[in-house]
Amino acid sequence: MGIQGFLPLLKSIMVPIHIKDLKGCSVAVDTYSWLHKGALSCSTELCKGMPTTRHIEYCMHRVNLLRHFGVKPILVFDGGLLPMKSEQENKRARARKDNLARAVEHESDGNSAAAYECYQKAVDISPQIACELIQVLKQENLQYIVAPYEADAQMTFLAISGQVDAVITEDSDLIPFGCPRIIFKMDKFGQGVQFQDSMLQKNKELSFEGFNRQMLLEMCILSGCDYLQSLSGMGLKRAHASIKKFRSYDKVLKHLRYSGVSVPPFYEESFKKAILTFQYQRVYDPINENIVHLSNISDDIGDELDFLGPTMPKDIAQRIAKGDLDPITKMPFEVLLLLKQKGNSELLGCHLLLLMKQRTLLHIDSENWGSVPPPNIHIGYSSATNNSEFTESPCHEKKSPEHTVLRKPRQPIHKPCLGLHGHTNVQDTAEGKTREEATRKVTVRSAYFQHKQVEKNVYGEKQDCLSSGIAIDERKNALSE
DNA sequence: ATACCTTCGTCCC
DNA sequence: CGAAGGTAT
């Protein structure tokens, strides 16, 4: 839910800014919001698993806008599900499902306008969609990171650790996370408004005089956030007034109870967890190539942190960050694509065997890793790939062989890989799985904007199945051993 | 005055 | 998701 109505109350310290003012800077980009906006124009196609690249083009347009003005973007993607948000996620998934059902119904009634509207509300920015964009980013030598959990925490980490100068997002949650410099509402011309931490003292609508970071955070949680519903009647204004008066949440809760407000016992417990989730969420540090906490964790907090989600082996974290593994299922995207394309259980059985085999080879089971909801099948093939995508500066054109391979689909093995399927599993979504969008093609092409005119050719040449083509090759070899 | 609920636009042509 | 407007307290 973000922080309800926070941004309007910070108007006095929000300053207009244009991307060109950030020339020479690097910025972290909340890719979700761009993908989501871009997906609106082609939501019907996306929901049905039909081929489209409009959402990718939308993102690349903005990425190129940044590059045009000399700003170096690092695209950040959402990763795994945070236990604290699971009920919200379920709610949203259900809403999407309902809208999809409604859209299908409207469509069969011939009401295409209503259907379109529902499709827009049914689009899900799945890891597979992110993966499609990542294929393009790889080709363009653009930096990106898939967060182990939330992109918000990941972007804040990059900002605080000085790896980026600012963050571009639409989500006010970055403020309680403690992100020092945020650009909201960036439009297609590069115009937006800037929030700076250091300006808070000068805010007019709400006075933050005497507030420290902790108080700001507690105020935000008190008013209701993704991790904890607010007490009824508690919004931003009351939360602000309460924290201003009592300076800490426990005193506020004590006062509320004293005044006869019933504060459920779990509320206080959840509040602590919410604070810790904002402060110590797991993020990926591209410099050390490993999972760390958003801020350094002191030993006296060290007790149960399971609500931050399971930790993971270093190599898994690296593969997730690179976009090789689905951050939720921990399955390689290539394998997922293949399974969806073939959609036949005999192959699936073979691959599960393969997965198990590789899994044991990598000794990555056991430990904290065994208790996650989805079956934790994580494999790694071609173990030592280059992890350098995001730690290095621009010049590594020559050293990514797989990228060049991607452009040459030597194997015309499976042309029936786009179109034609996907319609069958519209009802499949009842299972609430990560289903049909995997059947969509992954369009990979280089020089995204300079060569826009060759778009039709690209489509015609069926370059769409290349990455899965590679996957199939590798599978074949591995299986025939 | 405040909080909460609903609706609408986001995209593109 | 945020913005905006209506409404209940």
Coil, strand, or helix at residue A332?
Answer: strand
Nearest protein residue, CA measured to C1' of B1: A237
- Report chain B positions within 7 A of protein CB atoms: 1-4, 10-12
Give residue A1's pLDDT: 62
Nearest protein residue, CA measured to C1' of C8: A233
Q: How far apart are CA A169 and CA A35, in angstroms?
A: 12
Six token digits for residue A288: 């050390």
The set of residues with CB closer than 7 Å to nucleic strand B is A 36-38, 40-41, 54, 58, 61, 120-121, 187-188, 224, 230, 232-239
How distant is C1' of C2 from CA of A6, in Å? 10
Q: Which nt is closest to the CA of A193, judged by C1'?
A: C2
Q: How far is CA A433 from the centre of its chain?
A: 17
Coil, strand, or helix at residue A238?
Answer: helix
pTM of the predicted model as reported, rounded to 2 decimal places? 0.75
Give residue A41's pLDDT: 92
Instruction: State in Å, rounded, how far the first CA of chain A is from the last one.
Output: 50
Give me the sign of the Cα torsion angle A290, A291, A297, A301: negative
How distant is C1' of B12 from CA of A278, in Å? 37
Nearest protein residue, CA measured to C1' of B8: A117
CB atoms under 10 Å from CB of A185, counted, come to 14
Q: What share of chain A is helix, strand, coil (3-state, %, to 5)?
A: 50, 10, 40
The structure tokens 């060569």 sit at A451
Q: What angle do CA A271, A272, A277 make, to 5 degrees?
A: 95
Coil, strand, or helix at residue A433?
Answer: coil
Going from the C-alpha of A376 to that of each of A331, A335, A341, A364, the distances in angstroms are 8, 14, 21, 10
Maximum CA pair distance of chain A? 74
Q: Which residues lie below 8 Å from residue A454, measured CB to CB, with a gap of 6+?
A: A445
- Report chain C positions within 7 A of protein CB atoms: 1-4
Q: What is the pLDDT along chain A (481 residues), one digit of tens a residue?
A: 678 889 999 999 999 999 999 999 999 999 999 999 999 999 999 999 899 999 999 999 999 999 999 999 999 999 999 998 888 888 888 888 888 988 888 888 888 888 888 899 999 999 999 999 999 999 999 999 999 999 999 999 999 999 999 999 999 999 999 999 999 999 999 999 999 999 999 998 899 999 999 999 999 999 999 899 899 889 999 999 999 999 999 999 999 998 888 888 889 999 999 999 999 999 999 999 999 999 998 877 767 899 999 999 999 999 999 999 999 999 999 888 787 666 555 555 555 555 554 444 443 333 344 333 443 333 333 333 333 333 333 333 333 333 333 333 333 333 333 333 333 333 343 333 334 443 343 333 344 444 444 333 333 333 333 333 333 334 333 333 2
Six token digits for residue A407: 């452009």
Q: Which nt is closest to the CA of A61, judged by C1'?
A: B11
How distant is C1' of B13 from CA of A116, in Å? 15
Q: Which nt is closest to the CA of A58, judged by C1'?
A: B11
Nearest protein residue, CA measured to C1' of C9: A233
How distant is C1' of B4 from CA of A432, in Å? 30
Host H or E run for residue A285:
strand A282-285
How distant is C1' of B11 from CA of A23, in Å? 27
How distant is C1' of B10 from CA of A41, in Å? 10
Nearest protein residue, CA measured to C1' of B13: A41
Nearest protein residue, CA measured to C1' of B4: A233
Minimal CA–CA distance to A71: which of A131, A37, A25, A31? A25
Domains and CATH numbers, chain A: 209-280 (1.10.150.20)
Q: Which nt is closest to the CA of A43, judged by C1'?
A: B11
Give residue A354's pLDDT: 54
Q: Which nt is closest to the CA of A231, judged by C1'?
A: B3
Which DSSP string do the residues of A51-112 spell out, in sequence order? ---HHHHHHHHHHHHHHHTT-EEEEEE--SPPGGGHHHHHHHHHHHHHHHHHHHHHHHTT-H
Nearest protein residue, CA measured to C1' of B2: A237
Going from the C-alpha of A452 to that of each of A141, A160, A403, A465, A478, the distances in angstroms are 18, 37, 20, 20, 38
How distant is C1' of C7 from CA of A4, in Å? 18
